[in-house]
């Protein structure tokens, strides 16, 4: 009887793992749709909507570095530099070898540092 229970538990774990893959794929697909829509509305100048979409994307998939990068750009555009810095850092932590994210972050830091120096003079 104990063997049967153990085998059923093992089977449920296997079925749970198999069932989890499509859910994860669906989540990433949903996050990608949010990112794509965010890009569309940002191109039309609707930055608040873009921020909403990219925030949704990172809620859906907290490992989506490109969504954090886009969110950082939108926060920067919106003037929320603390949130931009945090989003860039998260994007880099998730994908440290991504040259595009690295360039965006470096440009952000350069501009932000220059602005801070000018305002302190």
Any domain includes 2: no
What pLDDT is stored for residue 121 in this prediction? 67
pLDDT tens, 7-32? Answer: 333 323 332 233 334 446 788 899 99
Average pLDDT of span 105-118: 83
Average pLDDT of span 40-53: 96
Any domain includes 8: no
Any domain includes 11: no
Any domain includes 9: no
Any domain includes 12: no
Any domain includes 6: no
Q: Please enumerate, as own/partner, the contacts of 67-70 that have beta carbons within 8 Å and a separation of 24 or more.
A: 67/31, 67/34, 67/35, 68/94, 69/98, 69/100, 69/101, 69/104, 70/35, 70/38, 70/39, 70/42
Average pLDDT, the chain: 81
Average pLDDT of span 43-65: 96
pLDDT tens, 94-107? Answer: 999 999 999 999 99
Please count the structural domains in the chain.
Answer: 1
| Residues of the domain holding 68 | 17-120
Any domain includes 7: no
What pLDDT is stored for residue 16 in this prediction? 28
- CATH (domain of 94): 1.25.40.10
Q: Is the pTM of this model over 0.85?
A: no
Any domain includes 55: yes
């Amino acid at each position: 009887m104990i063997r049967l229970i153990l085998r059923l538990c093992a089977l449920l774990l296997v079925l749970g793992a198999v069932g989890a893959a499509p859910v994860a794929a669906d989540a990433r697909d949903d996050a990608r749709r949010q990112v794509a829509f965010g890009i569309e509305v940002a191109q039309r100048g609707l930055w608040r909507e873009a921020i909403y979409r990219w925030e949704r994307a990172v809620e859906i998939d907290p490992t989506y570095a490109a969504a954090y990068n886009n969110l950082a750009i939108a926060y920067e555009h919106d003037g929320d530099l603390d949130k931009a810095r945090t989003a860039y850092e998260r994007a880099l932590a998730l994908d440290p070898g991504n040259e595009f994210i690295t360039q965006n972050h470096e440009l952000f830091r350069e501009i932000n540092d220059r602005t801070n120096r000018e305002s302190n003079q």
